[in-house]
Amino acid sequence: MDYTEELKERLKANVARVRTDIADACREAGRKEDSVKLIGVSKVFPVEYAEAAVAGGLKDLGENRVQELVPKIDRLNELGLTPNWHLIGTLQRNKVKYIIGKTYLIHSVNTIDLAREISIRSEASGIVTDILLQGNISGEESKHGFAPDELTAAVQAVNDMPGVRMRGLMTMAPIEIHKGEARPVFENTRIIFERLRSEVKDPSSWDTLSMGMSGDFKEAILEGSTCVRIGTSIFGDRNAYIK
């Protein structure tokens, strides 16, 4: 089933609204609009939604699960559509082999062992895979990632791994009950991100701070996010597609 023109135009309009909000937040922060990359999170939605979004001009797509990511990549490749693909969800070591060479950026490297697996697979394929370290800055037990006091050691451990290039940090804030609750988490992540630059083997590559989703991306941009992961505000309510 191909996407419809109606779907394409609807998603295109949603992307435009989100870009306007990004621009407004950037102006408030005294930043350039192009300093923030918009990733449309198409997880759970049928592949036609990803097709329509890219056909409508969206250049970056994010998926949570390898088993959704790979078929969508294959389908869009068949159509000649080549967005930058981001793996933003938890990645199991035994799934790494399926995505090597297919991602623009892996946001969710949450253990040294996972980084090592990506390194081994990438080196064997003769490529370098860009990754982010996932920080659990909020300290929630339900979230994966390195605690703040573990990140320096993580950077030092990954520094000398061939086949991977650390680009920065990713984090998720708690779901806001009251407006503004997420912002301190983003602020702390930015502070840690800036501090870690001196620990990175190649500081010039340490340029990506992935923070902010549909409910809190404005606060994330005000605190320095360079990469926002937007699902609902672009694609709509995904509950109808959750199995």
Report pLDDT for 141: 75
Compute how many other C-beta atoms are within 10 angstroms of the C-beta atom of residue 205.
Answer: 13
Q: How far apart are the C-alpha atoms of 64 and 108, rounded to whole Å?
A: 9
Residues 116-125: pLDDT tens digits? 999 999 999 9
Q: Are 144 and 134 in contact (CB under 8 A)?
A: yes
Residue type, 161: M
| Per-position DSSP letters for 156-175, written without gaps between them | HHHHT-TTEEEEEEE--PPP
Q: What are the structural domain ranges in the chain? A: 5-233
Is the pTM above the cut of 0.85?
yes
**What CATH number should be reported for the domain whose range is 5-233?**
3.20.20.10
Report pLDDT for 243: 63
- Indicate the helix (H) or strand (E) that contains 210: strand 208-210
Residues of the chain with pLDDT under 50: none
Compute how many other C-beta atoms are within 10 angstroms of the C-beta atom of residue 22.
Answer: 24
Report pLDDT for 11: 96
- Indicate the helix (H) or strand (E) that contains 23: helix 5-29
Radius of gyration from C-alpha coordinates of the chain: 17
